[in-house]
Amino acid sequence: MKKDQVTIYRSGEMFGSIFKTEGTLIECGLQKYAQYDAAPFVKFIPKGKRTGRGFVQGYKPYVVILKGVNHPEPQGMFKTIRETDEVTVRQSIYSSFDDRWKTDFDEVLNAYLEKNPDCVIMDVRHTQDTNVIPQTV
C-alpha cells in the first residue's frame, strides 16, 4: 500500500516561526494530550529519511497538512542587516513566538488554498476559526 506524499506546516518550538516538511504521511488526527482533549498529532517519514517522526501540539496549535509536495515556502526567520565579504549580520524578523510569524503565513496559505482547496488533509490553526478534521489516512 502506497502512503501519501504530503507537505506539513507547523509552528516551531524554538521561535514559533513556521516550518515546512515534505515526506510520507503515516497517520494524523486529534488526540487527548495533557489537558487538551483534541490536540493535533502527526506521524510521518521526512523526505530522504527511513524512520518515522511525530509531534503533538497542545497550546495554540498550528498544523496544516497538504496532499503532495512543492507547496508554498514560509518566509525565512532572518533578514540581513549588513553584509560584507567577511561578515553577515542577520536579525530575526519578529521576536520569539510573535503571532505575526503565523498570521503572515496565513495570508500566503489562504490565497494558495483558495486556488487549491482539494489539497487539504488537515488544517488546525489557532489563528483561523476554521478547523478541518483530518481525513482517515
CA dist., res. 33 & res. 43, Å (int): 15
Percent of the chain residues past pLDDT 70, beyond the cut: 92
Q: Where does residue 80 fall: left (phi above 0), alpha (psi -120 to 50 degrees), or beta otherwise? A: beta
β strands within the chain, DSSP E? 5-11, 18-33, 36-46, 53-56, 62-67, 78-83, 88-92, 120-125, 131-132
- Separation of CA 5 from chain center: 15
Is it the case that residue 23 has pLDDT exceeding 60? yes
The residue that leads in pLDDT, 31 or 80, is: 31
| Structure confidence by residue, pLDDT tens digits, 83-95 | 888 888 888 888 8
What is the length of the chain?
Answer: 137
Q: What is the pTM of this model?
A: 0.85
Contact yes or no for 71/119 (Cβ under 8 A): yes
